[in-house]
Amino acid sequence: MPPHEQEGGSGRLRAGLGDGRETGASDPPEPQGRPGGAAKTFTFDAVYDASSKQADLYDETVRPLIDSVLQGFNGTIFAYGQTGTGKTYTMQGAWTDPEKRGVVPNSFEHIFTHISRSQNQQFLVRASYLEIYQEEIRDLLAKDQSKKLELKENPETGVYIKDLSSFVTKNVKEIEHVMNLGNQTRSVGSTNMNEYSSRSHAIFVITVECSETGPDGEDHIRVGKLNLVDLAGSERQSKMGGQGERPKEASKINLSLSALGNVISALIDGKSTHIPYRDSKLTRLLQDSLGGNAKTIMVATLGPASHSYDESLSTLRFANRAKNIKNKPRVNEDPKDTLLREFQEEITRLKAQLEKRGMLSQKRRRNSRRKKVVEGEGNTEAEGEEDNDEGLEKNMENYLKEQKERLEEEKAAIQDDHSLVSEEKQKLLEEKEKMIEDLRKEQEATELLAIKYKVSVSVLTAPPRVCVAKLG
């Protein structure tokens, strides 16, 4: 993984906000020499100290949320805290060490393990990766990294990002590869707090579509969306140091985090008639996660250093306010814009075309045995049927051509991907070669079938004088 993902987590306190157990986390003791104040107590669902394991946080706090996403709910996991306190470590951890794997890789494993054990269900998993850098949205998986994306709103589906790329993934390895590609283009930089500090808010979006046949015999689709959010550091700008772009980055980060705090305050106030979601791209994009249709967890990370006392206290207050937000999650059943539904309809259409072609061939064979073709009428009928068949044949040829072009593009992408090891690249190339060879055989079989079919049609629709000549 890139260096900025190796942010340490030892010696930190992580307070998780969910919907289960409640554990008290006292106000951290003030450093020596500072005037003491009244003791403060913050209530959270769980608290994890330096002796806790990554698996403890995931199993107790995150796992129930992922189960809900697989059932069709929306879910969001925030990591909030000062730079260097373990946000990225909590979210990602050390991918190669099972004991230190974070929320993200454990979520991947959880989702695809559930899918592999499911019966009588069809799943489609898509992944997108974006960052909000200096209040501009970037697609971390796009070829053109200079392109800025726009936020749009649909009355039925809510806020979305126009032209955000999405990749279908079939297993853990593929979705990890998608995240690795995105991490290579994330905005990071050196600051006084961290050599590889995340200078943007990163959001990895997983969409899980599930199709299941109901008691009525119809297919019912549920769509769950999981937002994995790694927020930028929440420390004061004076502590960041650095030159050039760093002060500007810190200013934009603090503005968006301040907008997030204002939204949370307005939601729990009870008297506010206006919730300022539009004050930042972050709050606008995650509007459903704050007081809307989603189950949300906020993981607040704290550092033990005395000079971080103010930031630790601010983080605890921020997370404690967020805990009081009341969301209204519901299952997303049978949404109209689902890729799984589009795939199913495309398969049904292609099957209907193939069945229609077979039925037309059988009909011609029956007609050739039952009656003679009258020259004028026969030619007119044959021309109409021939036009129909040519349309079907053309559709089939176009479909095969598109599939072959797609496979060639994927093959070229694998060859150009320098992040793959040679063994993995060779294996993927062999798979693509086999798929191309199978497609070639399918195309040859289709062409042979078309030739045979055209020969039979020409015999059936030939003018009567030709038939008489052959019989004589």
| CB atoms inside a 10 Å sphere around CB 238 | 9
List Cα–Cα distances, 36 to 32, 69, 95, 416, in angstroms: 9, 45, 42, 61
Exposed e or buried b per residue across 253-289, where buried means at least 16 C-beta atoms within 10 angstroms of its C-beta = bbebbebbbbbbbbbbeeeeeebebebbbbbbbbbbb
Q: Which residues pair with 142 in a beta bridge?
A: none
Beta carbons of 169 and 182 less than 8 angstroms apart: no
Q: What is the C-alpha separation between 226 and 239, in angstroms, rounded?
A: 33
Residue 192: CA atoms inside 13 Å, Cβ hemisphere, count?
13
**Sequence-ordered list of residues with C-beta below 8 angstroms from that of 112, at least 6 positions apart, any chain:** 125, 171, 172, 175
Query: Which two three-digit tokens encode residue 92?
Result: 């990602």
Q: What is the C-alpha separation between 56 and 48, in angstroms, rounded?
A: 8
Residues that constitute the known binding site for ATP: 81-88
Q: What is the C-alpha separation between 458 and 291, in angstroms, rounded?
A: 69
**Separation of first and last alpha carbons in the chain:** 81
In three-state secondary structure terms, 241 is: coil
Beta carbons of 57 and 300 less than 8 angstroms apart: no
The number of angstroms, rounded, from the C-alpha of 125 to the middle of its chain's C-alpha atoms is 7
List Cα–Cα distances, 402 to 394, 398, 405, 406, 409, in angstroms: 12, 6, 5, 6, 11
In three-state secondary structure terms, 348 is: helix
Beta carbons of 313 and 95 less than 8 angstroms apart: no
